[in-house]
Structure 1
């Protein structure tokens, strides 16, 4: 889930998704990589966090944990 998307903030979109499908993993991704942004994403329901630019290996490792 990109945290900066048009119309609805990515964290708000995550909250809405989790209301409908709480078991569905959501991985936050953003260019803003502070510890505060990471914690805020996790607090808002994201299951993990990755910052841009995204490493293919890191992303695949995160995805593997959820499948």
Structure 2
């Protein structure tokens, strides 16, 4: 089994649904990455401004400010941080829309453990 050792990494999970956040937190527990949570797009932008992050896992459907707008705002001051969209939307063109907003990659819900870890490992 592949080991993911990210103990020196900080990951921002932007997720308004508590159960989805807990699921991601559980997936990432064995990696030893430090996890920070934002519950909406506005919080995500503020946390990205004020913390040294290694990766952002961005839900798209969020209150206050959606994931597209939050990603665009983060890209104004940080062009390099990997941002991975996570969404239940599987409509045609959705992946392209996330990339146009500035996301590096795209995950569809329901999230599979191996897919999440493999995708994040490309950027960490």
Between the aligned partners of 1:50 and 1:33, the Cα distance in structure 2 is 10
Q: After TM superposition, where is structure 1 displaced by more than 6 Å over at least 4 residues in a row? A: none
**Residue aligning to 2:114:** 57
1:1-67 to 2 correspondences below 5 Å = 1-67=58-124
Q: 3-state SS of the aligned residue for 2:59?
A: coil
Please, what TM-score do these two structures have when normalized by structure 1?
0.93
Consecutive unaligned residues in structure 2, runs of 5 or more: 1-57
**Higher radius of gyration, 1 or 2:** 2
Consecutive unaligned residues in structure 1, runs of 5 or more: none
Q: Which has the higher helix share?
A: 1
Aligned residues: CA RMSD:
0.8
Q: Which has the higher strand share?
A: 2
Greater relative contact order structure (CA < 8 Å, 6+ sep): 1
How many residues of Structure 1 are paired with residues of Structure 2 in the alignment?
67
Superposed displacement of residue 33, structure 1: 1.4
Q: 3-state SS of the aligned residue for 1:33?
A: coil
Please, what TM-score do these two structures have when normalized by structure 2?
0.52
Between the aligned partners of 2:91 and 2:106, the Cα distance in structure 1 is 11
Summarize deviations over 1:4-25 as a string: whole Å, max 9, x none: 0000011000011111111001
